[in-house]
Amino acid sequence: MSLRTLDSLGSVAGKRVIVRCDLNVPLKDGTITDDGRVRASLPTLNALINAGARVIVVSHLGRPEGAPDAKYSLEPVAQRLSELLGKPVAFARDTVGESARDAVAALEDGDIAVLENLRFNPGETSKDDAERGAFAEQLAALGDVLVSDGFGVVHRKQASVYDLAQRLPSAAGLLIATELEVLDRLTETPERPYTVVLGGSKVSDKLGVIDHLLPRVDRLLIGGGMLFTFLAAQGHKVGSSLLEEDQLEKVRGYIREAQEKGVELVLPTDIVVAAKFGADAEHAVTAADAIEDTPFGASGIGLDIGPDSAAAFAEAVRGSKTVFWNGPMGVFEFPNFANGTKVVAKALTEVDGLSVVGGGDSAAAVRQLGFEDAAFGHISTGGGASLEFLEGKKLPGLEVLGWA
């Protein structure tokens, strides 16, 4: 089976097309701080608008507890979407109630409306098939066709992602099609040398990815909080740095497997160690095998890879034809500990081949550090979904669209 795409729907002129986007953007005091996911939805929305569809956008935002909560309203997103599309965007103040029905009824060909946060209804995320199905029925009554384009949620068996696609003619949007094309290249047909850079806080979050990709890559670079479990697995002291002791044996297995398979496993040779976790904490650069030899002793905490490691990582990245990066190299939110992430990000913009930023914190980092999306080959919109795909897992939101 192959993925059903927009072409499979035929003409959508005059049809009510529900588009399941992922508009789960960060908000601060009601203001969007990173509109990357909104912009990523534009190609599909513009294609449908230009084809004369009556577009009904649905999405979640945050984790409300199945009830309306003003701080998770999609209204700021609807306003931003209007600015980016250059046309009015109607906003319904509920998901399947009177406001939603009125907003949909008022649509003309080429018009667009955004419904309120799907997760204000408990049926969206319910584990009960009947409750989820009942909510999907209510959503289905609003539209004629479903276009699923929220890649960040395709690993979730949720009403708007899975059950709705069983109740309406459905297809993947342009964003999902692009994500799958890129991720398929990373797993099946990577151009070599192929380098994967993993960071973020925990090894346990990346076990499946390492399991699946280790036999497929030429180099594996480890940074972020997870690096300290690797250092500890080699017998080094890591002070008060993040350490998952229950993963030490697993990590020793990865180190052995990399040697056996001829994969170059690259760990930092120097670390930025701080007196405490804080933006203005006193800090020093030390060798990776001498973390407790700083003035901070055993209370020192590693918050970034050091400058020598950052330079080595960058050289490895630039020398590759395919690079996948997921997880920052340090606490990039603090300028004193952002250098490793910034150096690696810049190297990704210089790859002569395919460079992929794997969503989530990595996508937020490159934007916060001032890089343009267009500087990279691809920035994924789905952190968790990207990782599960790269782990080789079946994703319900894709299977229901014919992907197998």
Q: Say whether 264 counts as a known binding-site residue.
A: no
The predicted pLDDT at position 392 comes to 87
Q: Say whether 292 counts as a known binding-site residue.
A: no
Q: Say whether 22 counts as a known binding-site residue.
A: yes
Q: Say whether 359 counts as a known binding-site residue.
A: yes
CA dihedral in degrees (330, 312, 359, 212; nearest 10)? Answer: -110
> Model confidence over 129-154: pLDDT tens digits?
999 999 999 999 999 999 999 999 99
DSSP at 361 = H
Q: Considering 123, 360, 382, 383, which one is annotated as catalytic?
A: 360
**Pairing mode of beta strands 112-114, 90-91:** parallel
Q: How many whole angstroms separate alpha carbon 77 and alpha carbon 46?
A: 16
Specify whether 353 is catalytic. Answer: no
What amino acid is encoded at 88 in this protein?
Answer: P
pLDDT at 287 over 90: yes
Q: Say whether 206 counts as a known binding-site residue.
A: yes
pLDDT at 360 over 80: no
Other CB atoms within 10 Å distance of the CB of residue 260: 8
If DSSP codes are grouped into helix, strand and coil, which group holds residue 322? Answer: strand
Query: Poorest-confidence range of 91-105, 202-216, 254-268, 271-285?
Result: 202-216
**Within its chain, how far is the Cα of 127 from the centroid?**
23
Kindly state the tokens that stand for 106.
Answer: 């008022």
For the chain, counts of helices (H) and of strands (E): 14, 17
> Model confidence over 96-131: pLDDT tens digits?
999 999 999 999 999 999 999 999 999 999 999 999
More confident residue, 362 or 301: 301
Q: Say whether 16 counts as a known binding-site residue.
A: no
Q: Say whether 180 counts as a known binding-site residue.
A: no
Q: Say whether 369 counts as a known binding-site residue.
A: no
If DSSP codes are grouped into helix, strand and coil, which group holds residue 158? Answer: coil
Q: What is the DSSP string of 40-91?
A: HTHHHHHHHHHTT-EEEEE---S---SS--GGG-SHHHHHHHHHHHTS--EE
Q: Considering 15, 37, 80, 367, which one is annotated as catalytic?
A: 37
Q: Say whether 378 counts as a known binding-site residue.
A: no
Question: In whole angstroms, how far apart are CA 103 and each of 93, 124, 128, 141, 159?
Answer: 9, 20, 29, 13, 21
Q: How many whole angstroms separate alpha carbon 332 and alpha carbon 344?
A: 12
> Model confidence over 27-61: pLDDT tens digits?
988 899 989 899 999 999 999 999 999 999 999 99
Q: Say whether 199 counts as a known binding-site residue.
A: no
6-177 CATH fold? Rossmann fold (3.40.50)
Q: Considering 202, 318, 321, 346, which one is annotated as catalytic?
A: 202
The predicted pLDDT at position 364 comes to 84
Q: How many whole angstroms separate alpha carbon 62 and alpha carbon 43?
A: 24
Task: Tell the residue number behind the tokens 């979050």, with chain if given.
Answer: 205
Specify whether 394 is catalytic. Answer: no
Q: Say whether 235 counts as a known binding-site residue.
A: no
Phi-psi region of 360 (alpha: psi -120 to 50; beta: other; left: phi over 0): left
Q: Say whether 300 counts as a known binding-site residue.
A: no
Q: Considering 66, 208, 353, 384, which one is annotated as catalytic?
A: 384
- Percent helix, strand, coil in the chain, to 5, is 45, 15, 40
CB neighbour list of residue 84: distance below 8 Å, 6 or more residues apart: 35, 38, 39, 42
Residue ranges of the chain assigned to CATH 3.40.50.1260: 6-177, 190-391
Question: In whole angstroms, how far apart are CA 266 and each of 59, 257, 379?
Answer: 39, 14, 23
Task: Give the right CATH number for 190-391 from 3.30.2270.10, 3.40.50.2300, 3.40.50.300, 3.40.50.1260.
Answer: 3.40.50.1260
CA dihedral in degrees (134, 139, 144, 145; nearest 10)? Answer: -100
- Under the banding of pLDDT at 50, 70 and 90, the label for residue 1 is low
pLDDT at 91 over 80: yes
Alpha-helical segments (H) within 113-239: 129-140, 174-187, 207-213, 227-233
> Model confidence over 206-255: pLDDT tens digits?
988 999 999 999 999 999 999 999 999 999 999 999 999 999 999 999 99
Specify whether 152 is catalytic. Answer: no
The predicted pLDDT at position 251 comes to 97
Q: Say whether 198 counts as a known binding-site residue.
A: no
